[in-house]
Amino acid sequence: MTNLISCLLLISYFFNCNAKQNNGGEKLIILKNAHVEVGIVPDLGGRVVLLRLPGMKNILKSDPRQWDDPNARPEVSAFSDFVAFNGHIVWLSPQSEWWIKQDINLKRRDSKAIWPPDPYLIYGDYQIIERTDTSLTMVGPASPVSGVQLTKRVLVNSQGVVTFETSAKNIREQSISWGLWFNTRLDGFARCYLPADESDLRKLAVTGDENETPLPYALNQGYFTFLPPALSHASSKYVQKAFLTPKANFMVGFSEGQAIKISFEGVPPAQIHPDQAPVEIYNLISTSETLLELEVHGPYQTFQPGESIRMAETWQLFKYDGETTPQAHIAFINEKLKGRN
């Protein structure tokens, strides 16, 4: 096993050097047409960092100052700490298994660490293997932590619908089990809506920190939504995570004068790892940080050496200049977005 890990690390090193040459030193790659603009940074985990209607602000939570700053990026290794570059990123599920399938960082393995995510997957230099004005395909480094190699494809169609596809290839010599996990990050004061009722809310979770207050939520007119409050004093910190099974396979976020409709494939809860749920929504509001995560899980699968698992979702953006209330948001969803492909 040690020799195999050493080989993988060496391969990843040369792979990353080659990827930098193939990417031509270009950091942000923008795919666009008259309806949408999407920005990707291949050497930052193949991360989508920009998504907007032309002429409008970025709906994703992401800081442009980080995209070109090499000092902001952690070393890609099994010992790297987490840096929040946000945007849209791909993790593996379940979180409880992130560090138990490797023998490089023994401390994280033995403690069954649930943080950080695999640095090779989220910070690695992704090599561009195909590029057009409206599509980009990238392959990431082989991860000795997770035992997979991710390939990502972003495609913009003529109507402005963005398709995001990912496959994870087993690069080990034995079978491995994972699910794919998509995470779209918006500002914490953005509003989100998922078709669900009380029976679809599997659980709510907080970290247990005594300085945290559970974030309020509502189940209103067939939609789950968090209700981020205004911060009342300097020590305020509101946080909550909801584990849900959706009634329909989409959710909507409102921010920066736009609505994003995220559509995904329906996965029965029985196919998701028991630690997770088909959809998870995390919302944090504090004086130092705000964050909304719209998370979608694929089925937990066992796949053989050389085999891959795949997952895809689509994003559609719409201009929204209505009131910032659940009633107005839900009316807009029902009138403009529901049932629209």
Can you give the three-state secondary structure of 185-245, one letter per residue? EECCCCEEEEECCHHHEEEEECCCCCCCEECCEEEECCEEEECCCCCCCCCCEEEEEEEEC
CA distance 233 to 126: 43
Using DSSP bridges, classify how beta strands 176-186 and 201-205 pair: parallel, antiparallel or unpaired.
unpaired
Supply the pLDDT for residue 233. 67
Strand partners, 339: none
CA distance 206 to 208: 6
Q: Give the pair of three-digit tokens for residue 92.
A: 């593996």
CATH numbers and ranges of domains, the chain:
2-337 (2.70.98.10)
Supply the pLDDT for residue 225. 98
Element at 91 (helix H, strand E)? strand 88-93
Model confidence, pTM:
0.91
User: DSSP secondary structure string, 72-83?
Assistant: GSPPSSTTPPP-
Q: Give the pair of three-digit tokens for residue 143.
A: 């991860």
CA distance 130 to 192: 34
Residue linked to tokens 């207050």: 213
- Residues 6 or more apart in contact with residue 28 via CB below 8 angstroms: 39, 40, 41, 49, 50, 67, 68
Q: Give the pair of three-digit tokens for residue 35.
A: 């309806």
Supply the pLDDT for residue 20. 41
Residue linked to tokens 């930052």: 44
Phi first, then psi, for residue 185 (nearest 5°) are -105, 125
Q: Which residues of the chain have pLDDT under 50?
A: 1-2, 4-24
Q: 3-state DSSP call for residue 151?
A: strand
Supply the pLDDT for residue 341. 62
259-310: per-residue pLDDT in tens?
Answer: 999 999 999 999 999 999 999 999 999 988 999 999 999 999 999 999 999 9
Torsion angle of the four alpha carbons 54, 128, 186, 253, in this order, in degrees rounded to the nearest 10: 60
CA distance 161 to 54: 13
Phi first, then psi, for residue 86 (nearest 5°) are 60, -140
Q: What is the DSSP letter of 324?
A: S
196-225: per-residue pLDDT in tens?
Answer: 999 999 999 987 677 788 999 999 999 999
Buried b (16+ CB within 10 A) or exposed e, 32-71: beebbbbbbbbbbbbbbbbbbbeeeebbbbbeeebbeeee
